Structure 1
Amino acid sequence: MKKLINDPEQVVRDMIDGILYAHPERLKNVPDTSVLVRADAPVHGKVALVSGGGSGHEPAHAGYVGKGMLDGAVCGEVFTSPTPDQVLEAIKAVDGGAGVLLVIKNYTGDVMNFEMAAELAEAEGIQVTKVIVNDDVAVENSTYTTGRRGIAGTVFVHKIAGAIADQGASLEEVERVALKVIDNVRSMGMALTPCTVPAAGKAGFEIPEDEMEIGMGIHGEPGTHRAKIESADTVADQLLSLVINDLNLQADDKVAVMLNSLGSTPQMELYVMNKTIGKVLQSKGIIVHKTYVGEFMTSLEMAGCSVSVLKLDEELTELLDAKADTLGWK
C-alpha cells in the first residue's frame, strides 16, 4: 500500500484537521466529533441541511458545506457510516430554529444511524425530516443496501435543496424539492481498478488488467457484470443508455449532466467520455442545460467514473443555477 498518511486509524481525524488549517474562514469542527459545519452555523431562521457518510468520497461530503448547499457534514471512518451520536451533534450544531433536513445515501448503515439520530434530535425538540437518495440504476439490493444505492446524484440534491433553503423556504418545501430531485436523477458507474482502504492495507477486490466492472458502487460493491475493456465511446454509451431509459427521457427534455471521476480518472479521460455523452444526447434531441465534469463523489483512488443525469423543469433549473460557495462546488 502506497499512501501519504500517518496512522491508518487516524486518517479521518488528520484529514479533518488539514481541512481546518486550509479553510478556517469557511468551516469549523464541532468539538470532539468528526462533524464539520459552516463557520457561521447555525444560521438562524434557515432550514439546515446535514449529510454525510463514510469518508473516502471527497469532496463529498464536507466539500459541499457552505452557502447555498449543506450546513453540516458528518465524516464517518473510511467507507463506514457515522454513528448516531455524531449525526446528532451535527443536527444540534446547525439547527437555527427552522428545522433540519437529513440527506441520506441509501446504504443500510447510513439509513439506520441517521434515522436514529433524527429520533434523538426530535426528542430534544428539534424538527427533523429526511430524504433517502437512490440514484444508482445499476443494481437492486447490492452489498450494503436494500434497494438502489445512493451515489453521485446525491450532489444534485445537496445543491438544489440547499438553494431553496438559502432562499428561506420552509422545511416542508425544502423536503419537497429534495424529493423532486431524487425522483428525477439517475446515475451509473464503472471501474477500471480497485481502491485500498487505509486500515485494510490492501485492495478489497481485484479487476484483471484487461477488464472493467460495469455498475461498480462507490465502496467497491459489485456491479452488473465484468467485461473486457472497451473504448470510451462504448463505455459512455453503455452507461448513458441505462440512465436515459430509466428516466424515460424524450426529445426536448432538458437535463443537467454530471461526469464524475471516482478518484484516479484524469480530466482528459472524462472529457473524452463527455464527447460521446454530448453527441448521444444531442442525437436524441435532449437539451443539455449544463454539464459538470470533475471529482464530485470519489472512491479513494479508484479508477473509473459515473454518469449522472438530472431531468430539469423550470424550478429545478433556477435552483441549480443559484449561487453556491463551497470547497467542492462553485
Structure 2
Amino acid sequence: MVSPDKNQSTTMMFILLGFSEYPELQVPLFLLFLTIYTVTVVGNVGMIVVIMINPKLHTSMYFFLKHLSFVDFCYSTITTPKLLENLVVEDRSISINACITQFFIGVIFAMTEMVILAVMAYDRFVAICYPLLYMVFMSPQHCALFMTVAYTWGIISSTVLSYSILVLSFCETKVINNFVCEYNVFLSASCSDKHFSEIILFIFVNLNAFCTLIIILTSYLFIFVTIFKMHSDSGRYKAFSTCSSHLMAVAIFYGTIIFLYCIPKSKNSSLIFKVGSVFYTIVIPMLNPFIYSLRNNDVKESFRKIMDHKTLYQ
C-alpha cells in the first residue's frame, strides 16, 4: 500500500471526457439528460409524497418503495449535474477530492439500493407464502430495522471501498474517458500498486451482488412454487401482479450491471461502457417510479386524486 501525498492529492485533477468526442451531440445530449433528470426528480419525489400523504399506502411494501425512490433520487443527483456541466463547459476537470466524494456518496446509495431490492423480494415472499404471519414478520419495527441495515451496509461498503482508493498514489493529471467517478477511474489513474484495492473491490462488490441476488432468487423460487400450487386463477393473477413490478426493476438493474461487468473488456468498447453507465446511473432511477406506478392501481389512484385536487383549485 502506498499512502498518497496530502498536498499532491489536493492539487491533482482528473479530466472527465464524458461525451466530448461527439461535439455535435453536446447540446442534444444536454437536453436529453436534463429531461431525464427532471423526470427522475419529479417521479421519485412525487412517489415519496404520494406514499407519505395517502394512509392507504402506509404498508411495508410502500415503505420500502418510498426508500427506493429516495435512493434513486439521491443516486441520480450525485452523477447527473456533473454530466450536464461537462456537456456545456470547456473545463471538464474535477479534483481528486471531489471525485472521491462523488464516488463515496454514490456507492452508499448503489449498495443500499441492492439491499432494498433484496428486502422487497423478502417482503413479497412473506406476503405470498406466509400471509397470516405477514404483520408479524413485516411489522413497522422490523421494516425500520431492515432499512437501518440497508443504509448501514451501504455506508460500511462505501467507507471500505473509499479507503482502498485513499491508499493509492496519483502522479499526474489524468484524462479519464468517462463521465462519472467510478472505481476503475481511480485504478486507471493510479501510479502505485493496485493489488490491495482490486482485492477489496472484488470482495465487496461480489459479496454484495451475490448475497442480494441469492435472497432475491430464493424468495422468488418459493413464491413461484406457492403460486403454482394455488387453485384459483384470480389468486395466481393477483400474486403475480404484486411481484411483476419488482421483478422488472430487478431484471433491469442487475441485467445492466451484469452486461457491463461480465463482458470481457476487450469486447466492450468505451462507448458501450459509457452508454451502459448512463443507463444504470441516470435512466434506471427515472424508470423505477414508472415501473411501480404504471403497474400499481393504488399508486395510480393516489396520483389521480392529487391531480384532481389541484385542478379544483386552478
When the two structures are superposed, what TM-score results if normalisation uses the length of structure 2?
0.32
Q: Is the strand fraction higher in 1 or 2?
A: 1
Larger radius of gyration: 2
RCO (CA 8 Å, sep 6+): is it higher in 1 or 2? 2
